Amino acid sequence: MARAIISDIHGNLEALEAVLADIRAQGITEIYCLGDIVGYGPNPCECIDLVLNCQMCLLGNHDQAALFDPEGFNAGAERAIFWTRKMLESASGPKAEKRWDFLGELPRVHREPNLMYVHGSARNPLNEYVFPEEIYNQRKMERIFSLVEKYCFQGHTHIPGVFTEDLNFLAPEEIDFKYELGPKKVLVNVGSVGQPRNGDSRSSYVVHDGNTLHFKRVQYNWEATRKKIYEIPELDNFLGDRLAEGR
């Protein structure tokens, strides 16, 4: 059965709704989320309400920051998290309590036979970035691969692609948006739903169907999201501007 794997929604309701519609159109009913539901974007509560329906969801570093305190965040990201927390705290009713309970119970790692799911990396599930250029950091990559049984799905960098154990990075465009899983270990970054940073404004996610991975891109109304961000003083305009270019 096919499974959709999404990550890094970052409070972008327009992007999340477009991706969920794309997933439904393919008849896929199982959705895993790799975290960072909130942060940066203007609709944290609405995005949490939709992700509640996912079959599995992990804790992202922005989700944790909303629960506790941001650590290592730049000024803009920190302001966005404090505003996000204010939105969650000012909400009322049973839904509001359910959101806090949901975030507070999210795990950092999910494992199934041959499969591992994290937000950051196998070594540091919450906070470690694995960027494409890490293929030149042999020691780091060998350590991460040593912690992976076979296939590890991750997000956090917002840059989709496949890391192979022989230290190559395959961008979706290089592999015609499809990758066949084999006997060798791989790390798979599914990209970002709500704040792509791969030079493409479209949302990114992955469908895992048997041994085949399909890298998906979905157009959404980023202008509407940007307009909302502009209207919230606590959210930097840059957080909306970057949506246009996927940066």
State pLDDT tens for residues 223-236.
Answer: 999 999 999 999 99
Identity of the residue numbered 241:
D
pLDDT interval class at 186 (50, 70, 90): very high
Q: Is the pLDDT of residue 6 over 90?
A: yes
CATH number of 26's domain: 3.60.21.10
Total tally of structural domains belonging to the chain: 1
34, 196, 26, 105: CA torsion to nearest 10? 20
Q: Contact 190/216 with Cβ under 8 angstroms?
A: no
Apex CA 76: angle with CA 104 and CA 121, to 5°?
50
Look up the domain containing 23 and give its range.
3-244
Q: List the one residue out of 22, 69, 21, 60 whose CA is nearest residue 41.
A: 60
pTM of the model: 0.96
Per-residue pLDDT, 72: 83
Per-residue pLDDT, 71: 80
Tokens of 165: 């154990």
pLDDT interval class at 134 (50, 70, 90): very high
Question: 197-207 burial string, b = 16+ CB within 10 Å, else e?
Answer: bbebbbbbbbb
| CA–CA gap between residue 129 and residue 119 (Å, rounded) | 9
Rounded to an integer, the average pLDDT of 183-193 is: 98
- In this predicted model, what pLDDT tens digit does every residue of 73-128 receive, in sequence order? 999 999 999 999 999 999 888 888 899 999 999 999 999 999 999 999 999 999 99
- In this predicted model, what pLDDT tens digit does every residue of 48-61 receive, in sequence order? 999 999 999 999 99
Rounded to an integer, the average pLDDT of 165-189 is: 97
pLDDT interval class at 10 (50, 70, 90): very high
